[in-house]
Amino acid sequence: MTRRRIGIAATLGALGLVASGLVAPAGTPAAHAEARACTEGQTRFVPDAPPALARLGATQSWPLATGKGVVVAIVDSGVSANNIHFPRGSVLPGKSFVGGAATTDENGHGTALAGIIAARDIGEKSGVIGVAKDSQILPVKITGGEGGDEEQQRSANLAKGIAYAVSAGADVINLSLSTTSNRPDVRAAIASAVRAGIVVVASGGNREQAAETKDGLRFPAGYSGVIGVAASGPNDVVSENSIRGPQVDLAAPGDNVITTFRSWGDCVFSEAQQSSSYATAYVSGAAALLRQAFPKATSADITYRLEATASRGSRTVRDNVSGWGVVQPYEAMTAVLDNSVAGPVAPGAAPRVTSPPKVSTIDLTPARDPRAPDRAAVQWLLLGVAATVLGLAMARMLRKPTES
């Protein structure tokens, strides 16, 4: 196989994947730079832990849940199940709608998402490990292969892929894709998944990969019951590359993503631009943790926990940039929530009635000074004394004899 380096303009971009690693991020030892490169046919490992794990408090969450027993469907380009991070049983056979096996991945997008969610720890040589590290991946391959138009494949197979994930018993469905098209077949498939109690997580959209770059509603994130995700960078700031709109419910890290690279170990992706594809996978991993922690919870309950506990500046307000804020799985598992908690309304609770603020007027009329007459009398007295002194002085000067 001819080795070639994956660049920003590679075919991975069609699904929102931006592969990098040619330049190591600041603070990374120079010796690690080569290991971070994405080179086909060359197995390399990145010893650095994915920065998002620390931001999301994943290690703090693992004593409570690791995703064990939870199935996460990745409706995408397939998953390279022969990557060392996926031992036998961690990736299910799944189904391909484009020929070949779902456990193969020609462009790497689905494998990168699978690593974010469920990569297993392989020891000190690699820092890559999934948010829900014991969950199982169900690959649903709707695009990829050696031929065919990927956009057309996604449009033709998305609804069928979602329907298969529902029938196969998925607990979480990850959809790292977006479109402005409101397709009836996809809408119906999403509704079926939501009715089945599945947590559905979808990308809010990436500007640089979108045919329509303006902000606005994107699907399937815009459908009812779906968690729409934006990509955040350093300091939890959502990138300009992330599409803004009413479909955004949460944000998650989307840059400097260290994850699985097809069959060849690890790679660093999305160094130049935050990608909501990866952010979506982080939220899916968080949802898998909650699904294990609360096995009897509805999908609406899990969504509410993720949204109510997200990190944000204002506890009471969502916006079209980051939704309810950056996902925090540990807080979502440990918080005691009811309808009195600021933020989204709990499932089944009555909408909050916000009373109009009481308006009161302030009298700015100056108050009467009770000592004003006394102060006026003193002022006149002082003026009188001053005038008297001045008059006596002038009279004395006039009486003074002229010197000869």
Which of the residues 48, 76, 134, 249 is marked catalytic? 76
What's the number of domains the chain is made of? 1
The predicted pLDDT at position 18 comes to: 34
Question: Which strand (E) or helix (H) includes residue 24?
Answer: none
In a domain, 380, yes or no: no
12 versus 190: which is more confidently predicted?
Answer: 190
Given a cut of 80, whether residue 29 has pLDDT beyond it is: no
* Residue 340: active-site member: no
> By C-alpha distance, which of 286, 328, 271 is closest to 67?
286
pLDDT bin (cut points 50, 70, 90) of residue 404 is very low
The DSSP letter of residue 342 is: S
How confident is the model over 263-296, as pLDDT tens digits? 999 999 876 566 899 999 999 999 999 999 999 9
Does 76 have pLDDT greater than 60?
Answer: yes
Residue 101 in any domain: the answer is yes
Query: Which of the four pLDDT bands, split at 50, 70 and 90, describes residue 147?
Result: low
Q: Which of 61, 80, 135, 277 is catalytic?
A: 277
Place of tokens 């070639």: 4
The residue range of the domain holding 151 is 11-334
pLDDT score, position 358: 58
- CATH code (residue 319): 3.40.50.200
Q: How far apart are the first and last CA of the chain?
A: 128
Residue 4 φ/ψ, nearest 5 degrees: -145, 145
Tell me, yes or no, whether 97 lies in a domain.
yes
Q: 143 vs 361, which has greater pLDDT?
A: 143
Residue 186 counted as domain residue: yes
For the segment 185-219, what is each residue's pLDDT rounded down to a tens digit? 999 999 999 999 999 999 999 987 766 778 999 99
Residue with tokens 């006596």: 392
Query: Residue 244 in contact with residue 266, Cβ under 8 Å?
Result: no
Q: What average pLDDT score do residues 386-403 get?
A: 74
**pLDDT at position 39 over 50:** yes
Q: Which of 192, 278, 188 is nearest to 242 (CA)?
A: 278
Query: Would residue 32 show up in a list of annotated catalytic residues for this protein?
Result: no
Active-site pick, 109, 178, 270, 284: 109
How confident is the model over 323-372, as pLDDT tens digits?
999 999 999 999 998 777 788 888 888 776 655 555 566 666 676 777 77
Q: 176, 15 in Cβ contact below 8 A?
A: yes
* pLDDT above 60 (res 381): yes
Q: In angstroms, rounded to a whole number, what is the distance separating the alpha carbons of residues 206 and 321? A: 12
pTM: 0.80
3-state secondary structure at position 72: strand
Contact 215, 236 (CB under 8 A): no
Answer whether residue 374 is part of any domain: no
Residue 348 resides in a domain: no
Token pair in block for residue 399: 């009486």
Active site residue 277: yes
* Cα–Cα dist 188/190, whole Å: 5
Residue 312 lies in a domain: yes
- Across the range 141-157, mean pLDDT stands at 81
Among 54-68, 162-176, 211-225, the range scoring the smallest mean pLDDT is 211-225
Supply angle C-alpha 55, 58, 60, rounded to 5.
Answer: 105
| Residue 381 lies inside a defined structural domain of this protein | no
- Which pLDDT score, from 0 to 100, does residue 59 have? 94
Percent of the chain with pLDDT over 70: 82
For residues 193 and 201, is the Cβ–Cβ distance under 8 A? no
